[in-house]
A and B are shown apart, each in its own frame.
Chain A
Amino acid sequence: MLNTLVLYRAGVLVLAGIIAGGAHSALREKPLALQPAEPAPVIVVPVPQHTSVPAGAGAATVTAPKPLGLEISVPQALELFDKGVSFVDARHLPEYEAGHVDGALLLSAESFLGGSVPDALNYLDPQAQVVVYCGGGQCDASKNLVILLQQAGFTRAHIMTDGYPAWVAAGHPIATGKPVGP
């Protein structure tokens, strides 16, 4: 069963395999790794103090941008402001004239009374995001207005819960004077 010739030929077969494997190694364009590549490093960034993260968290893992909820903070509102999102002031005219978020439209819930659609809606895109605010604290004007806006087809309306006073306190852009448009 085993003789010198068999052993010799077995050696030839092994040698042929070594040569073929060596040639394969030399001709392979992509180098062969011996260990799987390390997963991409996870980016860890400090969480700003003003976000609603539990105390002591300190840092958070960045995965995907979290969609904004109905109620948003002033910093989140500022991000939308910087993106050019429309702001709607739900307060009364005198308050608006005394000071409002720069570029904000004046639109109160009362303007929807009687089933009419206020002209100010012509300035807004129902598909786009809208930030509504009022006096902050206990004011319900922004919530009432958002309900009406949702009924009018605005599905991406947000409420800046801390309202105009918090916006001013944060030093963000404001303006005074009468509303533009109708």
Chain B
Amino acid sequence: MNQPTAMKHRSAWLATVLRVALGGLFVFAAMMKLAELQQFAFAVKAFAILPDHLSHLAAFVVPWIELIAGIGLLLGLWTRPAALVIGAMLAAFIAGIVSVIVRDLDVTCSCFGKFEVPCTGPVGLCHVIRNLVLLALSLGVMWYGPGRMAVDGCCGSVGGLGVDTAPTGP
């Protein structure tokens, strides 16, 4: 295996790890939110950003988008669109958290239900940093593509499931 091929091989596996890690994390987060949906609704309302009817809608929709996008990443199906969706959500979360910090509100995140790791207590700088790290991961997935063991790569041909799978990483 020559050097460029070895690097490409390592990049493919790195892409796989990033994709599965991010997808698994978001599937977990979605399941935790759906399990404690009432608590998540309280948290959405407590952010005091959306009007009541949109807060109500967001409480239902956000976990489902996370779940669908997370499953997409886990399977490597529509990997880049899924990573884009998750990245956009993370950017929105970061903006919301910064807004809460600026307004000095005492709000709990409910991002992972009962498992608030590594950040505990009211939302703060820790949550911003955590979401920035996850945002970087999602950008990494978008950059590297699905990697190995992905539905996107299984059919290979243009027009099939792998239509957006061409590795573009370094």
Contact = CB atoms under 8 A, between A and B. Distances in A.
Interface size class of A (residues with CB under 8 A): 20 to 34
Interface string B111-143: 000000000000000000000000000000011
For chain B, what secondary structure do more than half of its interface residues adopt (helix, strand, loop), or is it mixed? Answer: helix
A24 B163 contact: no
Nearest to B40: A32
For chain A, what secondary structure do more than half of its interface residues adopt (helix, strand, loop), or is it mixed? Answer: helix
A10 B77 CA distance: 12
A10 B68 contact: no
Given A1-B80, A13-B82, A21 B65 contact: yes
B142 A2 contact: yes
Nearest to B41: A32
Interface size class of B (residues with CB under 8 A): 20 to 34
A97 to B, nearest CB: 70
A20 B85 contact: no
Interface of A: 1-3, 5-10, 12-14, 16-18, 20-22, 24-25, 32-36
Interface of B: 37-38, 41-42, 44-45, 52, 55-57, 59-69, 72, 78, 80-82, 84-85, 88, 142-143, 163-164, 168
